[in-house]
């Protein structure tokens, strides 16, 4: 699709009109020489900017205007600086031949086109309008460092001392050269050497203290960000974890938080240090030679342009690298986490190939990143070398003319070397700061995400009977709202009874358990606990009163005791041992080397499946809940453990819900609920032997 020609035609016509005006009375008022040339360029820039802005056409040609209007003053000023004829009267653009004007238009257009191509690489994305702007992100990052203000003030103090010492060292080096080249004075020479050594040692010590203070601050900020992000992630709704890959979350928690923590201590403060040094060094350079100082500024706009192009392309590559690295990490986590499944299917080589392909995509992006970095450094060094040659050439001319001394030229060259590094560091730090702000944008997106959960309840009664009621409950997962999982469920779980919820796989049994634990909210109807909506109860109170044991319980690295008391603020060893006894886990715990303090390994890898299940039962029982959910949990428990659970249920008049698809565990239950395709066929008492249960039994026998 061709671009809109109206802005370009308007720019050309408006510029020709301005040049025609400058040929007449307006042009006669302008002074001759470089001042008049610069004033003409500024008038062109201001007039075209205002006119195109009023016409609503500025956006398309905004970046071209400064180049078009100021390229001629810049070129002729540099020619005058190099040639030494600062007062030469160059011809104004309005009075120049048409060939000069066409050359200006052509060079400006080619430069703009090259800039547009290089600064908009494939993969560069526009900013999401729903995210915070960069200014707000910067202020938010600064607020994160507020608790570390004393350490930052100390770092700023050492920064100032280091900058002062480093700035004065070249000055005294030049004085030493002048003393050696003229009338030698031992006292003056010794004084210059003393101060040069003093400032060298002082600046080195101050720089070391500054770096240590910033690194210490960085570690504190990193810990704070990781803690806040991890807390925010754990409070998200389950739909969030179903839609977001674990590898992406891990990448945000490790890589992006590290980039954020670098922002203030290692980027913003180094940026400030370099800025202070640049201002101070240019002040010294101006005191030596204003002409050489102007020449030394030549590479700054060119370096800024090169850095701008590099930053845009690097940012696009950084996003791709982060995405591919997260995918590679996801492959590792899936393969290692399910290594038994991988081996049982003989898929080791397939997983290796998957990981190799992910690494190859990362390698290609890394190679492209390094290549662009090398080209950028080459261009930057060529520019710097060219400017140094110009400065030395003009400096020799000034020495021959008696305008400066050899020591002054040496001091100037030392200052130029330093200021070049600091200017380049400033430009690089600016891009690095923007890159890290982009990482902060993703982290803040997670921190600001509001979970799709109702407000936390406040009910926490001292006594709870444990009667559960489902009243016309329907539910569909948020990711599949058009596929209902439960439809119109109505039943009651009474204290002192064991209710079996049976049905084939996929009938919605585990969803009932999730609703009872307030992990999801019904799309219709209510789940009541002692007559109150379950969402009205305080979060920690509810999960002390309603405990669940799954078929494949999740254990965490740590001791047996840590896993049994998981989520409890305090718990005595006697309570832990009693819960283990009721869950029939005390026998194998006693055989362990350190008893309840024995480490179970990552995800309980040191335990058998049945032992994991018994620890999960003990973890539920130690809370002394009023409602216990056994979600396919009895398949790995023996008869002795089930008898212990029956005794525990009877001793406290508790409510027990057993979820299963097998008939073997139904015989001793007080109530049986048959669930099929999200619907409750008919609640029945086991002793009455009604038809729905009989049909289910007959169907399972046929299967």
pLDDT in tens, 51-95: 767 766 666 666 666 766 666 666 666 666 655 544 444 555 555
Helix (H) or strand (E) holding 507: none
- Edge-to-edge strand ranges of the sheet holding 468-475: 486-493, 468-475, 524-529, 532-533
The whole-number pLDDT of residue 477 equals 85
Among candidate residues 545, 263, 302, 610, the one with its CA nearest the CA of residue 431: 263
Q: Which value, to the nearest 10 degrees, does the dihedral of the CA atoms of residues 430, 431, 435, 436 take? A: -30
Among candidate residues 476, 480, 481, 500, the one with its CA nearest the CA of residue 675: 500
Given pLDDT bands bounded at 50, 70 and 90, which one contains residue 191? confident
The whole-number pLDDT of residue 282 equals 82
d(CA 179, CA 185): 7
Mean pLDDT of the chain: 75
Q: Which residues pair with 501 in a beta bridge?
A: 659, 673
- Determine the average pLDDT of the residues in 650-677: 74
Domain 468-555+608-613+620-702 has CATH 3.40.50.300: yes
Top CATH class of 134-300+378-448 equals: mainly alpha
CB-based contact 202:161 (threshold 8 Å): yes
Contacts for 184 with CB less than 8 Å, ≥ 6 apart: none
Query: Same topology for domains 134-300+378-448 and 468-555+608-613+620-702, yes or no?
Result: no
The whole-number pLDDT of residue 474 equals 92
Given pLDDT bands bounded at 50, 70 and 90, which one contains residue 130? very low
d(CA 258, CA 246): 18
Q: Report the relative pairing of strands 627-631 and 655-660 from DSSP bridges.
A: parallel
Asked if pLDDT for residue 563 goes beyond 80, the answer is yes
Instruction: Work out the percent of the chain whose per-residue pLDDT is above 70.
Output: 71
pLDDT in tens, 412-470: 887 787 787 777 777 667 666 665 576 677 788 888 888 877 777 888 888 888 899 99
CB-based contact 631:659 (threshold 8 Å): yes
- Determine the average pLDDT of the residues in 302-308: 75
Contacts for 121 with CB less than 8 Å, ≥ 6 apart: 312, 313, 316, 317
User: Which contacts qualify for 440-444: CB closer than 8 Å, 24 or more apart?
Assistant: 440/137, 440/140, 440/141, 440/256, 440/259, 440/260, 440/263, 441/131, 441/132, 441/137, 442/252, 442/256, 443/225, 443/229, 443/252, 443/256, 443/257, 443/260, 444/132, 444/137, 444/140
Taking the model in full, what pTM does it have?
0.56
CB-based contact 122:317 (threshold 8 Å): no
The whole-number pLDDT of residue 468 equals 92
Could you write out the DSSP letters of every residue in 602-618? GGGTTS-HHHHHHHHHH
Structure letter (DSSP) for residue 253: I
pLDDT in tens, 367-399: 988 888 888 888 878 887 888 888 888 888 888
Could you write out the DSSP letters of every residue in 647-671? HHHHHHT-EEEEEES-GGG-TT-SE
The whole-number pLDDT of residue 684 equals 47
d(CA 59, CA 334): 48
Higher pLDDT, 437 or 601: 601
Instruction: Work out the percent of the chain whose per-residue pLDDT is above 90.
Output: 3
Highest-scoring range by mean pLDDT, 106-120, 328-342, 357-371, 422-436: 357-371
Two structure tokens written together for 576: 């832990």
Given pLDDT bands bounded at 50, 70 and 90, which one contains residue 471? very high
The whole-number pLDDT of residue 632 equals 74
The whole-number pLDDT of residue 10 equals 63
Asked if pLDDT for residue 127 goes beyond 70, the answer is no
- Determine the average pLDDT of the residues in 253-257: 81
Asked if pLDDT for residue 249 goes beyond 70, the answer is yes
Contacts for 43 with CB less than 8 Å, ≥ 6 apart: 18, 22
d(CA 104, CA 112): 12
Given pLDDT bands bounded at 50, 70 and 90, which one contains residue 475? very high
- Determine the average pLDDT of the residues in 650-670: 71
Given pLDDT bands bounded at 50, 70 and 90, which one contains residue 156? confident
d(CA 330, CA 650): 46
The whole-number pLDDT of residue 91 equals 56
State the residue for tokens 């634990």.
Answer: 517
- Determine the average pLDDT of the residues in 203-211: 84
- Determine the average pLDDT of the residues in 616-620: 85
State the residue for tokens 């120049």.
Answer: 96
Higher pLDDT, 588 or 56: 588
Q: Where are the domains of the chain?
A: 6-118, 134-300+378-448, 468-555+608-613+620-702
Sign of torsion, CA 170 174 179 180? positive
Q: Report the relative pairing of strands 524-529 and 627-631 from DSSP bridges.
A: unpaired
Asked if pLDDT for residue 198 goes beyond 50, the answer is yes
Helix (H) or strand (E) holding 628: strand 627-631
Given pLDDT bands bounded at 50, 70 and 90, which one contains residue 27? low
Two structure tokens written together for 291: 């002409």
**Least confidently predicted of 232-241, 242-251, 576-585, 680-689:** 680-689
């Amino acid at each position: 699709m061709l671009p809109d020609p109206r802005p370009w035609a308007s720019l050309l016509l408006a510029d020709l009109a301005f040049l025609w005006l400058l040929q007449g009375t307006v042009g006669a008022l302008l002074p001759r020489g470089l001042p008049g040339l610069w004033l003409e360029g500024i008038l062109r820039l201001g007039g075209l900017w205002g006119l195109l802005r009023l016409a609503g056409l500025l956006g398309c040609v905004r970046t071209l205007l400064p180049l078009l209007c100021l390229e001629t003053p810049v070129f002729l000023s540099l020619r005058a600086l190099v040639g030494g004829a600062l007062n030469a009267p160059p011809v104004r653009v309005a009075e120049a031949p048409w060939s000069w004007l066409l050359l200006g238009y052509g060079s400006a257009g080619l430069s703009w086109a090259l800039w547009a191509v290089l600064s908009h690489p494939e993969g560069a994305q526009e900013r999401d309008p729903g995210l915070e702007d960069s200014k707000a992100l910067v202020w938010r990052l600064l607020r994160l460092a507020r608790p570390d203000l004393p350490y930052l003030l100390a770092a700023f103090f050492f920064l100032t001392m280091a900058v002062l010492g480093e700035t004065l060292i070249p000055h005294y080096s030049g004085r030493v050269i002048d003393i050696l080249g003229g009338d030698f004075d031992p006292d003056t020479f010794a004084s210059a050497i003393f101060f040069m050594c003093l400032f060298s040692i002082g600046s080195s010590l101050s720089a070391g203290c500054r770096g240590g203070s910033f690194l210490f601050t960085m570690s504190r900020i990193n810990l704070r960000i990781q803690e806040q992000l991890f807390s925010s992630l754990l409070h998200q709704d389950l739909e969030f974890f179903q839609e977001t890959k674990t590898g992406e979350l891990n990448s945000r928690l490790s890589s992006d938080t590290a980039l954020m923590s670098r922002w203030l201590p290692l980027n913003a403060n180094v940026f400030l240090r370099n800025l202070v040094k640049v201002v101070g060094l240019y002040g010294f350079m101006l005191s030596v030679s204003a002409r050489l100082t102007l020449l030394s500024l030549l590479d700054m706009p060119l370096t800024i342009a090169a850095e701008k192009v590099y930053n845009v392309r690097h940012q696009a590559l950084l996003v791709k690298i982060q995405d591919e690295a997260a995918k590679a990490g996801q492959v590792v986590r899936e393969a290692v986490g399910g290594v038994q499944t991988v081996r049982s299917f003989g898929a080791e080589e397939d997983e290796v190939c998957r990981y190799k392909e992910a690494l190859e995509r990362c390698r290609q992006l890394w190679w492209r990143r390094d290549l662009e970095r090398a080209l950028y450094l080459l261009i930057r060094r060529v520019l710097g070398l060219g400017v140094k040659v110009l400065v030395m050439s003009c400096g020799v001319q000034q020495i021959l003319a008696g305008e400066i001394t050899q020591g002054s030229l040496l001091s100037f060259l030392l200052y130029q070397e330093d200021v070049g590094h600091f200017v380049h560091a400033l430009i690089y730090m600016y891009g690095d700061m923007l890159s890290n702000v982009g990482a902060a944008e993703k982290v803040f997106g997670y921190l600001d995400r509001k979970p799709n959960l109702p407000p936390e309840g406040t009910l926490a009664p001292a006594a709870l009977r444990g009667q559960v009621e489902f009243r016309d409950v329907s539910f569909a997962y948020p990711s599949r709202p058009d596929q209902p999982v439960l439809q119109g469920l109505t039943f009651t779980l009474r204290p002192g009874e064991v209710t079996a919820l049976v049905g084939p796989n996929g009938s919605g049994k585990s969803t009932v358990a999730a609703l009872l634990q307030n992990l999801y909210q019904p799309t219709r109807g209510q789940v009541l606990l002692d007559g109150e909506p379950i969402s009205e109860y305080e979060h920690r109170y509810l999960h002390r009163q309603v405990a669940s044991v799954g078929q494949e319980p999740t254990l965490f690295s740590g001791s047996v005791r840590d896993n049994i008391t998981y989520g409890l603020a305090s718990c005595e060893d006697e309570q832990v041992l009693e819960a283990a006894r009721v869950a029939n886990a005390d026998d194998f715990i006693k055989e362990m080397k350190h008893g309840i303090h024995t480490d179970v390994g990552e995800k309980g890898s040191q335990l058998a499946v049945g032992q994991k299940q018994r620890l999960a039962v003990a973890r539920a029982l130690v809370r002394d809940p009023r409602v216990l959910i056994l979600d396919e949990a009895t398949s790995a428990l023996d008869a002795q453990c089930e008898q212990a659970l029956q005794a525990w249920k009877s001793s406290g008049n508790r409510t027990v819900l057993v979820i299963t698809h097998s008939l073997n565990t139904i015989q001793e239950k007080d109530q049986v609920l048959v669930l099929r395709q999200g619907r409750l066929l008919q609640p029945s008492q086991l002793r009455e032997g009604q038809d729905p249960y009989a049909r289910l039994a007959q169907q399972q026998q046929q299967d």
